[in-house]
Structure 1
Amino acid sequence: MFGLGKLLYVILLLINSIAVLSEDRFLARIGWSTVQQDPGFGNPDSTSIKNRLINLISAVRTLMRIPLIGINTIVIVYELILG
């Protein structure tokens, strides 16, 4: 029903969806851009959940771009050969 292979496909698709998010087109519109604006008075809360998610998205987009190309290629070839 729901095996380990399907779970790995779901994880791969989620990482792919995070990796292809455009910072200019999507993330900046909802206020999740990594470019910090002038906070005015006081320091912004760098430990908030929103800032942690922004940092996670930025890290995934930076670190996983090249490995995802290889992993996606392997999965595509596997699906083509073994269906």
Structure 2
Amino acid sequence: MAFTIYALMKAGLLLLNAAAILHKERFLDKLGWTEQATIAAQSMMSDPYFPGGPNSMYGQTSQPSSTESMKTQFLKFVIAVQTIMRVPLIFINLFAIALELLLG
């Protein structure tokens, strides 16, 4: 099997499908990866003496993407896929299945 753009697209589609069907209460709660846990972790990381966070100077806030952990970004990605991509994934999967049936 060759390493092609089509193979990368199929792998990305499989990852999107996995994120779309991931059950938060069964899987993520066991790891402690809930929305409440990430909010609590972010609030513990903020310094009460510097309201903008550790990277701010004189109360200017830093960009939120630079202070977010990978866990927070992963949770936001899963939530976004489950809310936004659920219906489009149905049609993308149907197209991918039809393409596989036609081209082999």
Give TM class, smaller chain.
Answer: 0.7 to 0.9
Q: 1:7 maps to which residue?
A: 8
C-alpha separation between the residues in 1 aligned to 2:90 and 2:43? Answer: 38
Identity %: 39
Q: 1:28 maps to which residue?
A: 29
Higher helix share: 2
* Greater relative contact order (CA < 8 Å, ≥ 6 in sequence): 1
Is 1:57 paired with 2:58?
no
Q: 2:43 maps to which residue?
A: 43
Runs of 5+ unmatched residues, structure 2? 46-66
Aligned length: 80
> 1:19 deviation in Å?
1.1
Identify if the C-alpha distance between structure 1 residues 44 and 74 changes in structure 2 by more than 3 Å, giving closer, same or farther: farther
TM-score by length of 1: 0.80
Runs of 5+ unmatched residues, structure 1? none
Identify if the C-alpha distance between structure 1 residues 44 and 61 changes in structure 2 by more than 3 Å, giving closer, same or farther: farther
Is 1:71 paired with 2:71?
no
> 1:33 deviation in Å?
1.9
